[in-house]
Amino acid sequence: MSSYKDRIRSLYFISQPTFWRMVSSDQLPKNYDFAEVEERWRGTWRDEDHYFDSNSNKPQFVIDTPPPYPTGNFHIGNALNWCYIDFLARYKRMKGFNVMFPQGWDCHGLPTEVKVEELNHITKNDVSREEFRKMCRELTEKNIIQMRLTLRKMAFSIDWSNEYITMMPDYYSKTQLSFLRMLKTGYIYQSEHPVNYCTRCETAIAFAEVAYDERETQLNYFDFHGIEIATTRPELLAACVAVAVHPADERYHFQKGSKLIVPLFGHEVPVVKDEAVDPAFGSGAVMICTFGDKQDVHWWKQHNLGLRKAIDRQGKMTEIAGKYKGMNTTECRNAILADMRSKNILKRQEKLAQRVGTCWRCKTPIEILSERQWFVKIKPDEIQNAAHQITWYPGHMLLRMENWVDQMEWDWCISRQRIFATPIPVWFCKKCGEMVTPADEDLPVDPTMVMPKYACLKCRNREFDGEVDVLDTWMDSSISVLNVTGWDGSGTPPYFPAQIRPQGHDIIRTWAFYTILRSVALTGSKPWEEILINGMVLGEDGFKMSKSRGNIIVPEEILQKYGADALRQWAAMGAATGSDIMFNWNDVIAASRFQTKMWNIARFVLIQLKKEGFDQNAPVTALADRWLLVRLSDTIQQVSTAMECYQFDTALKTIREFAWDTLADNYIELVKGRLYAGDTSRKSALLVLHTAFEAICKMLAPFTPYFAEECYSSLNRDASVHRQPWVSFTYDDEAARIEGNMLVQVAAEIRKYKHDTGRALNAPLGKVTIYTPHTINDEGDTGRTINADIHWRTDTAKLDRVISDIDFNRAVVGPVFRNRAMAFMTAIKALPPEQLINPPETIILEGSEVRIPENSFTPKYSYIEEGAKVDVITIGDVIVTIAKSA
């Protein structure tokens, strides 16, 4: 079933290569080969062009970029984030800023430790701390190398001279220095305090690392010395330190100082009254244990209760659990329930849906243990204050920060009982316990490997225990901004604060929060002037990408199929800045089609320019030419405005519309006849084509760096678009805007007329007369584009016209007449035709005389043909008559 179309197409493709070689040696290739182009430019561009210049007197634009975790795979969420960063870095460079786009790597942490254990079939305790660290470092280095390749393919204009790696000595010595500074100023302290603890990872974790999981559990009712208690955690009975009831609960009449005996264990605990007890839950009496949950900690503090540690760091029952000692919590729970049953004190059990805090990494339910840990003081007012001095994009993301800060209850626990992390740089005197810290110039130190250079200041002893705890990785990454702005521990760094922080909304409560906290603590100032939040990337099915759903898309796959520029366009256009964005192959395909279209525009422009170069000073005379310059000027304004407030979707959309609709479909269609014909005004069109095309290249440069470079270099052989200033072209010609719009509309209406009357678009049309209010000089464009014999006239068409309807300008009528607007419109409609054409000054409305506001309505005409000899099209006040062919 080979149709005519198919046959033509196959012929076309067979003949194409030969045809090509013959005529096109100095022309652009017919197809845009993204793979070839992207690889070629990648090999040509130099890293030095993106270096931050510390000697420059341009205004600085320092970007506090997110250091990714070096997993080895740069995922699509990273890609979105980095695209935003690169759009603004490239834009700001073109705008004349001295831009710093550093690349960091946030190396430390549990995932790498776990991976190393897995790969080497060991556990961290099988080798020395130093050996284990080395294995982690080597794996991380390998992963970084891998990820750098993807970053380069995506054409991110990274300043590689400002790369930082948090596990390297020059970085983590800064982390240690920042620790010592905050220790000195009292922001950091050591204390025994309840902390979230993962017994599988054997480390304390911060609230930000606690995830919540929906689980089903048993609510157990048992007899507690005569009163009924409901608990989900009977294994904590040994840790029971009080029983609490609501003060207004009629069921319980305890005197002040009443005590109860804990079943099975026999220790005595007080009864306390507290408003926070929910009388409707369970039996209305609740046991307080150290610690079942956050509420227990609350009560424990408030009522000054004793401490009973029943669970140790490995999640095993301790000494005070008596015969249950050494069991894990589940074994203990079962054993205690069995014992309760046999003693007949277990009354009943109910199923209960519960949200349980888990370790974000391994999903093990967290325990709250009281431990000696290191903490950073959280001062909510300071943080709120700094957060409010930062401009948030989009604005509502500030609320997330406010809410998070408002509900902070505990200080930030920064110590971890792990290995691959920044060591806490302190020692303790073996004799008197005094804490000793290293001198600044001795950093970095690993206190488990080296000893202080001095004797204990207090007791002159020379033997010390090095701190074995290490720092939370957020302690590393929360000074990223201090690092890139040149902090050396002494006051405010030279480039501080940074201009912008780009990051995802998922880490507002961690990275953004901790960074603000640390900047305020160490410099007294906000860390950045602006923060730009990007959304999460969802799978094509609208769900979060996950292995189990099988909806993961990796950037490498897109790069390979459609190239970096198409992926970057998807990132810009997929959604408004800050919104979550669904991955969509269609958008990537549409992006690559846009490149094809632009490529063909480039070929057209080049072919025309090659015929006879263009004259930079040619007078722009023809209406279509002036019109395009007006539209270009508008486009540049709109795109620039969008870029200034990081609305990348609006910016790229505006560029695409201008290139595709305005330039290709309207303008080129109008002027190609003039270009082919070689009219005198050909030079005018060439100059306009050149101007518009060059401007599009520049505007596309931040979004599609490879493609823009390829196009631009076809115009200017030895120049890079990435070293050009941003477009600043303006052109003001109101008459050209209005008349040009009319011209385009007339051409469109005539095309539609041909379509409706069953003609081919290039079919000749005979005599067409266009009646306009003003004289139009279109240099013959309209006639050629629609293939007709066009006559422009300014006199009145000899047609019978009748008013068919009235267009009201509601923006005028509404405010003037308010609730009488409807009555006004009815009254106008009732006027006789001659008064609609020449309206009176006033009209009678509900008995009173009112002025008719200017521009409040326009009559709509329809025309009666003169002896059926012409077809008539009306466009506003323009009338087009088309002679009917015999």
| Residue 150 CA: distances (Å) to CA of 36, 71, 594, 749 | 17, 13, 24, 49
| Residue 781 CA: distances (Å) to CA of 293, 423, 871, 878 | 79, 75, 22, 17
Q: How far is the CB of 672 from RNA (least distance, A)?
A: 6
Strand residue runs (E) in 551-692:
581-582
Q: How far is the CB of 548 from RNA (least distance, A)?
A: 13
Closest by alpha carbon to 702, among 716, 692, 712, 689? Answer: 712
| Residue 612 CA: distances (Å) to CA of 262, 299, 608 | 100, 87, 7
Q: Is 551 exposed, middle or buried (0-12, 13-18, 19+ CB in 10 A)?
A: middle
Q: How far is the CB of 831 from RNA (least distance, A)?
A: 18
Strand residue runs (E) in 410-497:
412-413, 415-416, 427-429, 435-436, 464-466, 470-471
Q: How far is the CB of 773 from RNA (least distance, A)?
A: 18
Q: How far is the CB of 150 from RNA (least distance, A)?
A: 25
Cα separation of 557 and 585, whole Å? 11
Nearer to RNA by Cβ, of 107 and 545: the residue is 545
Judged by DSSP in three states, 330 sits in helix
The amino acid occupying position 97 is F
**836 with 843: CB under 8 angstroms?**
no
Q: How far is the CB of 79 from RNA (least distance, A)?
A: 18
Nearer to RNA by Cβ, of 455 and 827: the residue is 827
- DSSP conformation class of 652: H
Taking the alpha carbons at both ends of the chain, their separation in whole angstroms is 39
Cα separation of 200 and 211, whole Å? 15
Half-sphere exposure of 665 (CA within 13 A, CB side): 11
**What strand order describes the sheet that includes 435-436?**
435-436, 427-429, 464-466
DSSP 144-166: HHHHHHHHHHTT----GGGEEET
Q: Is 728 exposed, middle or buried (0-12, 13-18, 19+ CB in 10 A)?
A: exposed
Nearer to RNA by Cβ, of 357 and 447: the residue is 357
Q: Name 822's Cβ contacts closer than 8 Å, sequence gap at least 6.
A: none
Q: How far is the CB of 715 from RNA (least distance, A)?
A: 15
Q: How far is the CB of 664 from RNA (least distance, A)?
A: 4
Nearer to RNA by Cβ, of 310 and 606: the residue is 606
Q: Is 276 exposed, middle or buried (0-12, 13-18, 19+ CB in 10 A)?
A: exposed
Q: How far is the CB of 392 from RNA (least distance, A)?
A: 11
Strand residue runs (E) in 510-589:
528-534, 537-538, 581-582
Q: How far is the CB of 463 from RNA (least distance, A)?
A: 43
Q: How far is the CB of 401 from RNA (least distance, A)?
A: 10
Nearer to RNA by Cβ, of 411 and 469: the residue is 411
Nearer to RNA by Cβ, of 322 and 815: the residue is 815
Nearer to RNA by Cβ, of 821 and 883: the residue is 821
Nearer to RNA by Cβ, of 401 and 498: the residue is 401
Nearer to RNA by Cβ, of 33 and 339: the residue is 33
Q: How far is the CB of 364 from RNA (least distance, A)?
A: 17
Q: How far is the CB of 197 from RNA (least distance, A)?
A: 16
Nearer to RNA by Cβ, of 811 and 886: the residue is 811
Q: How far is the CB of 19 from RNA (least distance, A)?
A: 10
Q: How far is the CB of 770 from RNA (least distance, A)?
A: 18
Nearer to RNA by Cβ, of 815 and 833: the residue is 815
CA 864 to the chain's CA centroid: 58
User: What's the sign of the alpha-carbon dihedral 10, 11, 12, 14?
Assistant: positive
Nearer to RNA by Cβ, of 268 and 854: the residue is 854
| Residue 425 CA: distances (Å) to CA of 107, 173, 358, 519 | 19, 9, 30, 20
Nearer to RNA by Cβ, of 341 and 829: the residue is 829
Cα separation of 560 and 556, whole Å? 6
Nearer to RNA by Cβ, of 53 and 805: the residue is 805
Q: Name 538's Cβ contacts closer than 8 Å, sequence gap at least 6.
A: 544, 545, 580, 581, 582, 583
Q: How far is the CB of 541 from RNA (least distance, A)?
A: 10
H or E stretch covering 21: helix 4-23
DSSP 282-300: TTSEEEEETTSSHHHHHHH
* Other CB atoms within 10 Å distance of the CB of residue 338: 11
- Helical ranges in 716-780 per DSSP H: 734-756
Nearer to RNA by Cβ, of 428 and 817: the residue is 817
Judged by DSSP in three states, 368 sits in strand
Q: How far is the CB of 760 from RNA (least distance, A)?
A: 5
Angle between helices 129-153 and 34-44 (to 10 degrees): 120
Angle (nearest 5°) at CA 513 between 510 and 518? 115
Nearer to RNA by Cβ, of 431 and 751: the residue is 751
Nearer to RNA by Cβ, of 57 and 819: the residue is 819
**816 with 831: CB under 8 angstroms?**
no
Nearer to RNA by Cβ, of 8 and 307: the residue is 8
Strand pairing report for 391-393 and 528-534: parallel
Q: How far is the CB of 596 from RNA (least distance, A)?
A: 4
